[in-house]
Structure 1
Amino acid sequence: MAAREFDIALFGATGFVGKLTAHYLVEAAPAGARIALAGRSLEKLAAVRAELGPLAAEWPLVQADSTDQESLNALAARTKVVVTTVGPYLRYGFPLVQACAENGTHYADLTGEALFIRDCIDRFGDKAAETGAKIVNSCGFDSIPSDLSVYQLYKRSVADNTGELTDVTLVAFLKGGMSGGTIDSIRALVEAVAEEPAKASVMAHPYSLSPDKSMDPDVGRQSDQALSRASDIDPSLDGWVATFIMGAHNTKIVRRSNGLLGWPYGKNFRYKEVMSAGSSAASPLVAAGIAGGIVATMATGAVLSRVPLGRKLIDRIVPAPGTGPDEKARRNGWFTMRTFAHTTSGAKYKCTFAGKGDPGYQATAVMLGQAGLCLAFDDLPELAGILTPASAMGDALTERLRAADITIEVTPA
């Protein structure tokens, strides 16, 4: 690795989130960091570099295409870390993971696609472990707040000697939009299941990303669907909670972290995520609308995705990939994730993971950028293969994000 030409190569630097990540790396990268911008068009890459100012004026440009395995192999061989924003990953991501796994190159992405991760585990996990590559999925708002919150709750329970984690629930409070890229990723998942219905089991099973099926805890049914009073989770909460659209993915990442770390969270660890519907008199109706709307939208999407006319209709309705809100809207966004944990001794804790900026854009660029810097420059555990943020970078990434003005705090509840 020391002989590699670059510390970080940002693949997809001309896309919406790619540009935001490039701007963040200009601010956050240490002096002397060797950063390259990679993508299909050298002309577009040069235009992005010109927007970044004098600190990035000498950043190299690398032409690479997700459909050209040779170009991706060459990119991976030149750099310590590849950070990629090129999705949907089910459509475009596999060749780059293969290149990084074979070349022993660390990797970070933004995927919220469980089918993609499951296939990466099966196809490239052994090779990545053999070469020492850390392939780290879901390094944005999905799923770093979830993964690091539970990891830090576990660390606090160990430090206090209060036993293993039992029931843990994350409650999401946020203001922000959903990107065209995120919607396109959800659509890719829906279409993949429509083409191969057997894949629905990966989406539905809470332990479908488990590293060892024989070690899965037997804690009964765990559902990602929610509609309940917030006070049922913790007395400090008001109003109602509903299904959190990314909970189905985030919970799988958290459970995979538990497995990769050797199941330290506990044999009775149960985890779910919900979204606050507010505390107004209308919050029960809002919560019901959220929960029902998600189910209806996914079902309608599954039906429409089966026929060409339906897919054309979806194209006309949903935001296009690579689009997003303007700077003012991104700046006005925020998120607060409160995770409530019980332990076997009866102790209760709360982890607050909070930050400013639209979670799907501004905050995601910070998280992805810091994940890339962490993989490139920090002293990390030797664990390699298809990993999660907590298993690959838990403590180091936590400290980086705290230094980047993100609150990560565990307190007694």
Structure 2
Amino acid sequence: MSDRVRDYDIVVYGASGFVGILTARYLAEHAPAGTRVALAGRSEPRLAAVRDKLGVDWPVVVADAADTDALARLAASTRVVISTVGPYLKYGTPLTSACAEAGTDYVDLTGEVVFARQSIDANHERARATGARIVHSCGFDSIPSDIGVHVLARQVAADGAGELTDTTMVVTSMRGGVSGGTIDTLRHQMDVMKGDRRLRRVAASPYSLSPDRDAEPALGRQSDTATVSGAEVHPSLRGTLAPFFMASYNTRVVRRSNALRAHQYGRKFRYRETMSVGTSPLSPVIANGVKLGFGALVAGLMLPPTRFVLDRVLPKPGTGPSEKAQREGHFTVDFFTTTTTGARYTARFRAQGDPGYAATAVMLGESALTLVHNREALPPSEGGVLTPATALGDALVDRLRAAGMEITARRL
């Protein structure tokens, strides 16, 4: 980040949206005293209403997502920008470029492969030159995945147990709602890729976010949407595991982390994500049903007749679960790996709160606070378009643990 004196420490962009309000509220309640926060978006009255509701005296900054001059001024005014304005492929490009140019750190919630790839291509070298840390995917996409593998690899290295090989994340339990914003993002990605074969290839490649695909080790086919026998992952697991619906994005983030670290996780590191559907004799049927169901949703959003119906029944942008539902939500993800020495390890990332809302607000808020208050503990970096693990590392782990999240790793 540039050494120039800034007016603010953190600007929450999109602060009047559903997740923006949750993130601003988290900062109002948990940011260390003296943290200078501002609320930004395109509507001054709506931002002022959020400020009044939160009971804070933070400034408001008006900047439309298409106004590049206003976004440049916003980026230059702060040390860190939090962006909750999606779909990022539709709205996010000018702001990430403004932050890279201004040497301003940036965090967001994207789970969009094409947007992340375009951001890497457009901003990585400029951000390295200015020292900006552009950190995509600092919510449920993809902090549990990326930080979970980070702590797993750190424990294996600390024990001198070799490197990671086959590694699987299992969503052991989860309770939470699906946001209208997430559906809108999926819908927009389908629209963009429908007529562009090149973008479809980017989205399909398991190494689409890696800095150099040709430098990746030849590990054979890596499928991110396969059903898997639990016993194949670890002898203690029963039943059949379904593909995790966020795997096609999260796996690419984790692989980018490994590549940015010169493959410290291992040259034989293979990674996939799954979810438990129970241990009954019907688990193979259920797991395959989950796989087919997600495929049907994607296909339905691409075909006009079914799209017409789905648009009327799926959650709308800007909507989300009740406060009660957010409080009662939770998630637990477990990681299993075998190292090059034959040792077995596991890690766990568990949190209370709806994964896509309450827990995401904590992860996003703490990511920004880490950049502001824990710079001396950040992983070494010249800047660039990074991942949560490579940009924030153990400093974020410590803050998330202090915020009540369970993040552990151990040898089995």
Specify the code of the residue in structure 1 equivalent to 2:30.
A
Q: Which residue of 2 aligns with 1:67?
A: 66
Question: 2: distance between equivalents of 1:113 and 1:19?
Answer: 22
Q: Which residue of 1 aligns with 2:323?
A: 327
* Mapping of residues 297-308 of structure 1, within 5 Å: 297-304=297-304
Specify the code of the residue in structure 2 equivalent to 1:41.
S
Shift of 1:279: 2.2
Contact 1:370 1:401 in 2 (8 A): yes
The alignment status of 1:280 with 2:304, answered yes or no, reads: no
Specify the code of the residue in structure 1 equivalent to 2:283.
S
Q: Which residue of 2 aligns with 1:186?
A: 186
The alignment status of 1:214 with 2:214, answered yes or no, reads: yes
Q: Which residue of 1 aligns with 2:52?
A: 50
Q: Which residue of 1 aligns with 2:152?
A: 153
* Mapping of residues 257-296 of structure 1, within 5 Å: 257-296=257-296
The alignment status of 1:224 with 2:220, answered yes or no, reads: no
Question: 2: distance between equivalents of 1:244 and 1:92?
Answer: 27
Question: 1: distance between equivalents of 2:6 and 2:301?
Answer: 44
Q: Which residue of 1 aligns with 2:358?
A: 362
Shift of 1:203: 1.2
Q: Which residue of 2 aligns with 1:176?
A: 176
Specify the code of the residue in structure 2 equivalent to 1:40.
R
The alignment status of 1:242 with 2:242, answered yes or no, reads: yes
Question: 2: distance between equivalents of 1:254 and 1:348?
Answer: 20
Contact 2:134 2:385 in 1 (8 A): yes
Query: Which secondary structure state, in structure 2, belongs to the residue aligned with residue 386 of structure 1?
Result: strand
Residue in structure 2 matching 1:3, options 5, 9, 30: 5
Specify the code of the residue in structure 2 equivalent to 1:9.
V
* Mapping of residues 185-204 of structure 1, within 5 Å: 185-204=185-204
Query: Which secondary structure state, in structure 2, belongs to the residue aligned with residue 340 of structure 1?
Result: strand
Question: 2: distance between equivalents of 1:76 and 1:151?
Answer: 29
Shift of 1:315: 2.6
Contact 2:244 2:275 in 1 (8 A): yes
Shift of 1:259: 1.0
Query: Which secondary structure state, in structure 1, belongs to the residue aligned with residue 210 of structure 2?
Result: coil
Q: Which residue of 1 aligns with 2:95?
A: 96
Question: 2: distance between equivalents of 1:72 and 1:208?
Answer: 28
* Mapping of residues 338-349 of structure 1, within 5 Å: 338-349=334-345
Segments of structure 1 that go 5 or more residues without pairing to the other structure are none
Question: 2: distance between equivalents of 1:243 and 1:129?
Answer: 35
**Residues 102-134 of structure 1: CA deviation (Å, up to 9, x unaligned):** 101000000000100101111121111111111
Q: Which residue of 1 aligns with 2:164?
A: 165
Question: 1: distance between equivalents of 2:195 and 2:78?
Answer: 36
Question: 1: distance between equivalents of 2:306 and 2:42?
Answer: 30
Q: Which residue of 2 aligns with 1:378?
A: 374
Question: 1: distance between equivalents of 2:221 and 2:286?
Answer: 26
Q: Which residue of 1 aligns with 2:28?
A: 26
Shift of 1:322: 1.1
Query: Which secondary structure state, in structure 2, belongs to the residue aligned with residue 359 of structure 1?
Result: coil
Contact 1:224 1:272 in 2 (8 A): yes
Contact 1:139 1:371 in 2 (8 A): yes
The alignment status of 1:35 with 2:37, answered yes or no, reads: yes
Shift of 1:269: 0.5
Query: Which secondary structure state, in structure 2, belongs to the residue aligned with residue 253 of structure 1?
Result: helix
| Bigger mean CA deviation after superposition, 363-372 or 285-294 | 285-294
Aligned length: 406
Contact 2:300 2:310 in 1 (8 A): no
Question: 1: distance between equivalents of 2:99 and 2:307?
Answer: 33
Residue in structure 2 matching 1:12, options 3, 14, 17: 14
Query: Which secondary structure state, in structure 1, belongs to the residue aligned with residue 336 of structure 2?
Result: strand
RMSD, aligned CA: 1.3
Segments of structure 2 that go 5 or more residues without pairing to the other structure are none
Specify the code of the residue in structure 1 equivalent to 2:125.
D
Contact 1:193 1:199 in 2 (8 A): yes
Shift of 1:164: 0.8
Shift of 1:310: 6.0
Contact 1:383 1:392 in 2 (8 A): no
Shift of 1:311: 5.1
Query: Which secondary structure state, in structure 1, belongs to the residue aligned with residue 345 of structure 2?
Result: strand
**Residues 362-411 of structure 1: CA deviation (Å, up to 9, x unaligned):** 00000000001111221222331111000100110011101010000001
Question: 1: distance between equivalents of 2:236 and 2:325?
Answer: 30
Contact 2:41 2:47 in 1 (8 A): yes
Query: Which secondary structure state, in structure 1, belongs to the residue aligned with residue 356 of structure 2?
Result: helix
Query: Which secondary structure state, in structure 1, belongs to the residue aligned with residue 392 of structure 2?
Result: helix
Query: Which secondary structure state, in structure 2, belongs to the residue aligned with residue 111 of structure 1?
Result: coil
Identity %: 52
Query: Which secondary structure state, in structure 1, belongs to the residue aligned with residue 111 of structure 2?
Result: coil
Query: Which secondary structure state, in structure 1, belongs to the residue aligned with residue 357 of structure 2?
Result: helix
Contact 2:167 2:271 in 1 (8 A): yes
Question: 1: distance between equivalents of 2:234 and 2:283?
Answer: 17
Specify the code of the residue in structure 2 equivalent to 1:7.
D
